[in-house]
Structure 1
């Protein structure tokens, strides 16, 4: 059964990269994003070879299990092809690619994924990330050591733990099957989009209900406005919906759209290695982890960073407390330069401080008892004293007390 819906694929070099190592494919039933890495030519070749092999699966399958098996086999064959290619072109050693593929079978989406490109599902107004990034920071998130928000800005956010490369002939690929329904919007993208445009803005763009082409253009514009430090590739798939049903020639974008990329061009020597390929995802070069020692090194580095954060947080807290204490002391000292006249039981008293209190902490103390009996004051004057009379200085407070004494004597 041919997929019923509409789709689009677009790819852009971004504002920093000089060439596009991403590849994207939107066909009749198959949709793929591959983010290549490994130097000037290596990334181009790796993502192109992935698309070249996977596009053979753009057909109707009799079952989801058959489609899932075909995806696994095709990705494994691509890994072997990358190994064979490096054997012919050793200057391409270290190249690799992510693969995020979606194969529609009846009312199901068959998904295969390796790396840090992503597949999202937008359904009923909610955006859900379907794939899990195979990155070092995602392991930290999964273990509860950092939050997803901290992961977005972690200095090691681009360290890949799994990738389709020229070192492993049997890559570990995530595959699973999900039901899909009319109105679903599937978004496949390289981290050139997800590393710049957050989920909230992505969901907003998808929720406008525009045609796939206009929606993809909107997402690309947001990535470019955000600096686009990496290549940006977007494949958007609508299931059913009001927009025209997709038929015709598949759309291939990025390096795979250039036949030279598939023909394995000569690469510039000395530009890449397995541990340090030239790939910029989410502003940082990507590294790969070929052994346990490298992972332990990264974990220890993260521990040191966490300790530094705790020390910096504690030092900042101490500074804030010190600044607050200094402010309170200065404020209290200022209150002790003020005076007012009030009542204490049955006499008129001059107080030092201000009339207000801070909770249980009084900001005034009796300074001088004038000896004037409240009962000798006229009723209105007595009420005024009980409400307190402010004075700018001790001399002014004593002047007020003298006037009250005269009023008391006149009232007696």
Structure 2
């Protein structure tokens, strides 16, 4: 069954950026926003590549389960192609993109999400944020350490914890299925909108009963009036309701609306994190920054959790202590089957174990010094290594090192 409704896609460079690294898509059944990052060329390529892979999903599906599985697999294929492209063109190292996608299947919306672009639903005049931002400050909000309002102005508000990038062949993508109904209005947007226009004003604009196109223009105007320091991309989808069905060719906006300037590998069967690089918030339009401060905060947070757990163990019964001790031993043995790539004082190193410590107990040790000098890497790749890159096996860690070695050679 083909989705019946009306939609629009709109993208604007904003008032500060020199180019538009966002991409958007509005078709018959598929709607996507992708916010690229990683330099003038990298962000363009990453978001365009995501749209290129996903646009084949603009078709009816037999079931929501099929749509959800295909959506997840296609996003994973995109990650594999980003890795392949950087292997051939090291100058694109560090590129990545958020992806927020929605596929309509009968009376259901199938959603996939990674990064800090957002999906909202306006129903009966009530606006709800459907997706959760994969950012450091969202983790602080979820743990109760800061409020939602404090998160809007936190100095690390756009440190991404998950993104579709060139260092992770198995990205962790949120997918879920929601029932939808006539009169629903869906909004997909990059943080160029949500970082400038708050939810109250967004809800007011969406609730005025205007067509999707006029509503998108109104939201864009609010973002521009607020300074629009980042690219702004908006996709609005109406389910039934008063607006007429829109048919014809899909609307593609932003970077994906122009041909890619690099040779893009063809899509192929998919495969299946590192802490992803910092990206400045929409209302703070500057470049990437070092990740050391927020990593230290994360480590301290884990240490506080460990201290609370130890107090609980002391209060608990002896049998519980024994069970936990056995579990801890098994967990430690598992950590020693894992690997990650990080840095010592001046070189890239493969570590055995995991990045976290269990209180005073280290869970990792140096496995191999690769000899790759940090000074030979581009600044973005160096920051990524210093933040550590997870690997599922030693072979995967060595593949990451090989890519870094090629990047270092190209950067000399």
TM-score tier by shorter-chain length is 0.5 to 0.7
The answer (yes or no) to whether the contact 1:15–1:224 under 8 Å persists in 2 is: yes
Query: 1:348-387 maps to which residues of 2 (within 5 A)?
Result: none
The answer (yes or no) to whether the contact 1:36–1:97 under 8 Å persists in 2 is: yes
The secondary structure found in structure 1 opposite 2:140 is helix
Q: Distance in 2 between matches of 1:171 and 1:288?
A: 22
Which portions of structure 1, spanning 4 or more consecutive aligned residues, are displaced by more than 6 angstroms? 300-303
Give 2:124's aligned residue: 124
Task: Specify whether residues 280 and 147 from structure 1 end up closer, same or farther in structure 2 by C-alpha distance, changes over 3 A only.
Answer: closer
Give 2:39's aligned residue: 39
Query: 1:323-362 maps to which residues of 2 (within 5 A)?
Result: none
Give 1:12's aligned residue: 12
Give 1:188's aligned residue: 188
Question: How many equivalent pairs are there?
Answer: 292
Give 2:68's aligned residue: 68
The secondary structure found in structure 2 opposite 1:116 is coil
1:297 shift after superposition:
1.6
1:275 shift after superposition:
6.8
Q: Distance in 1 between matches of 2:223 and 2:301?
A: 28
Bigger mean CA deviation after superposition, 275-284 or 178-187:
275-284
Deviations 1:106-141 (A, max 9, x none): 000000000000000000010000000000000000
The answer to whether residue 269 in structure 2 is matched with residue 281 in structure 1 is: no
Task: Specify whether residues 238 and 261 from structure 1 end up closer, same or farther in structure 2 by C-alpha distance, changes over 3 A only.
Answer: farther
Give 2:151's aligned residue: 151
Q: Distance in 1 between matches of 2:183 and 2:277?
A: 42
1:241 shift after superposition:
1.4
Give 1:202's aligned residue: 202
Query: 1:287-298 maps to which residues of 2 (within 5 A)?
Result: 296-298=295-297
1:289 shift after superposition:
9.8
Q: Distance in 2 between matches of 1:157 and 1:284?
A: 12
Q: Distance in 2 between matches of 1:68 and 1:228?
A: 33
The secondary structure found in structure 1 opposite 2:260 is helix
The answer to whether residue 102 in structure 2 is matched with residue 102 in structure 1 is: yes
The answer (yes or no) to whether the contact 1:122–1:184 under 8 Å persists in 2 is: yes
Task: Specify whether residues 251 and 77 from structure 1 end up closer, same or farther in structure 2 by C-alpha distance, changes over 3 A only.
Answer: same
The answer to whether residue 225 in structure 2 is matched with residue 245 in structure 1 is: no
Q: Distance in 2 between matches of 1:142 and 1:4?
A: 36
Q: CA RMSD in A?
A: 2.2
Q: Distance in 1 between matches of 2:277 and 2:116?
A: 16
The answer (yes or no) to whether the contact 1:38–1:278 under 8 Å persists in 2 is: no
Q: Distance in 2 between matches of 1:298 and 1:95?
A: 25
The answer to whether residue 77 in structure 2 is matched with residue 77 in structure 1 is: yes
Deviations 1:135-190 (A, max 9, x none): 00000000000000000011100100000000000000000000000000000000
Q: Distance in 2 between matches of 1:150 and 1:21?
A: 28
Q: Distance in 2 between matches of 1:275 and 1:129?
A: 23
TM-score if structure 1 supplies the norm length? 0.68
Give 1:335's aligned residue: none
1:278 shift after superposition:
7.0
Deviations 1:254-290 (A, max 9, x none): 00001135646xxxxxxxxx97677663425575999
The answer (yes or no) to whether the contact 2:160–2:276 under 8 Å persists in 1 is: no
1:294 shift after superposition:
7.1
Q: Distance in 2 between matches of 1:187 and 1:135?
A: 20
The answer (yes or no) to whether the contact 2:160–2:277 under 8 Å persists in 1 is: no
Give 2:309's aligned residue: none
Task: Specify whether residues 8 and 277 from structure 1 end up closer, same or farther in structure 2 by C-alpha distance, changes over 3 A only.
Answer: same
The answer (yes or no) to whether the contact 2:3–2:29 under 8 Å persists in 1 is: yes
1:88 shift after superposition:
1.0
Q: Distance in 2 between matches of 1:133 and 1:198?
A: 15
Give 1:397's aligned residue: none
